[in-house]
Structure 1
Amino acid sequence: MLLPVPHRRPGLRRALSLRQIPDDSYNPEILYVELWMLPVLFGPDGELMTALHRWFGVLLVVSAVPGCGVLIFIIGPPFYQHLTMLLIVAMSFQLRIRENRARARTRRLLNSARASGRSV
């Protein structure tokens, strides 16, 4: 999901100033991720962020957007920006699929318990 430009620019400026990244570096790729996905995607200590920086030479800057979620700015060479973006998008799709399957499984269990007359 893309956020409108007025929401992206302030987040990018704040994130760049926090990380002391010069403005003349590569144009960042910007991803929007829901807040609950962040620790699952990158691990509790950000292990995946470190690995992506080591493997592809990209820097991930995470900026929270109040009431919306999280913006991830991918800064680095364009090819590796796109590769990193595709990896993060694929992982977030898998997380969404798992969440939906778990929700459907819970719903089926509740419905079968109600149908059999047992209380849950």
Structure 2
Amino acid sequence: MLLPVPHRRPGLRRALSLRQIPDDSYNPEILYVELWMLPVLFGPDGELMTALHRWFGVLLVVSAVPGCGVLIFIIGPPFYQHLTMLLIVAMSFQLRIRENRELGPDGC
């Protein structure tokens, strides 16, 4: 599992492992998101992940589950964990509604 570096330069991609998270961090909130939603939610380069870190001081750890989807671990203060979780859930619901409207009533 990898973490994005919060203040990375464009074109420079580095990551931190979970072992480098401080010991005084809180228990993570865990979300499940479908794989196709990930680039739409966070942007192609993870811009929203960096923004959430700057705004709320939370770190997002994204872990792929083979054949299922993606687990998102939200690490930070409990209030901001919950707020970040609500934002991601609301955006994913809107993406699901939009996709269902595009498919139409027949589902194809």
Do both proteins adopt the same fold according to a TM-score greater than 0.5, normalized to the shorter chain? yes
Structure 1 spans left out of the alignment, 5+ residues: 102-120
Stretches of 4+ moved more than 6 A in 1? 1-16
Q: What's the TM-score once normalised by structure 1's chain length?
A: 0.68
Structure-1 separation of matches of 2:19 and 2:32:
19
8 Å Cα contact 1:12-1:63 kept in structure 2: no
Structure 2 spans left out of the alignment, 5+ residues: 102-108
8 Å Cα contact 1:75-1:81 kept in structure 2: yes
Q: Which structure: greater strand fraction?
A: 2
Structure-2 separation of matches of 1:86 and 1:40:
17
Q: Which structure: greater helix fraction?
A: 1
Q: What's the TM-score once normalised by structure 2's chain length?
A: 0.75
- Which structure is higher in RCO with an 8 Å CA cutoff and minimum separation 6? 2
Q: 1:19 to 1:94 in 2, by over 3 A?
A: farther
Q: Which has more radius of gyration? A: 1
Instruction: Please tell me the root mean square deviation across aligned C-alpha atoms, in Å.
Output: 8.3
- How many aligned positions are there? 101
Structure-1 separation of matches of 2:87 and 2:93:
10
* Cα displacement (A) at 1:7: 31
What is the match of residue 114 of structure 1? none
